[in-house]
Amino acid sequence: MKNKKFWIIGGIILLVIIGGILAFYFFNNDKEVEKNDNQFMLDSEYYKDGNYIQIDNKKVEDLVNNKKTFLLFTYNNYCNFPIPCDSVFKKVMDKYKIDVLKIPFEEFKDTVFYEKVKIAPSLIIVKEGEIVDYLNADDDEDTDRYQKDDAFKKWLSQYIVLKK
């Protein structure tokens, strides 16, 4: 009788432990990236629809002078990547409803950012008018970030708070 009680109580404890592990896994598996000390919010107007917003160099200058926080995609009219990077970025933009400013590279050359970013395509993270980081098409480390939405999301979420 004592032996049977021991197995029943042991089985219940085991089920509770397994249930707790499964609950933790399911509730944390598809959550947004947790905010850490390095992350920051874009200006609120960029958490809207997940669209590209076409701008020119004068608008970039205005954003920099007003110390805005945003994402800027500079592009060429051609792309050497097997999968166009703008479509990879768009998947993350759609999921998290993040709008990204978009400027042709020829126009981008007339911005203050051209001193640092000399190649396109590139996605530039700007905090309070200053470049925090950017994707470099010539850097092997960034290749997956241009081609795989999960790699791009992981890189982006190091800096930007992603919210659904």
Whether residue 164 lies inside any domain: the answer is no
Q: What is the DSSP letter of 31?
A: P
pTM given for the model? 0.76
Residues 1 and 77 in one domain: no
For the chain, how many structural domains are there in total? 2
Same domain for 117 and 61: yes
Q: CB under 8 Å to 85, separation ≥6 — which residues?
A: 79, 121, 123, 146, 147
Cα 138 from chain centroid (whole Å): 20
Chain segment 63-103, per-residue pLDDT in tens: 999 999 999 999 987 665 545 778 899 999 999 999 999 99
Mean pLDDT score across all residues of the chain: 85
The string of pLDDT tens digits covering residues 35-59 is 566 899 999 999 999 999 999 999 9
Other CB atoms closer than 10 Å to residue 2's CB: what's the count?
Answer: 6
For residue 164, is pLDDT > 80? no
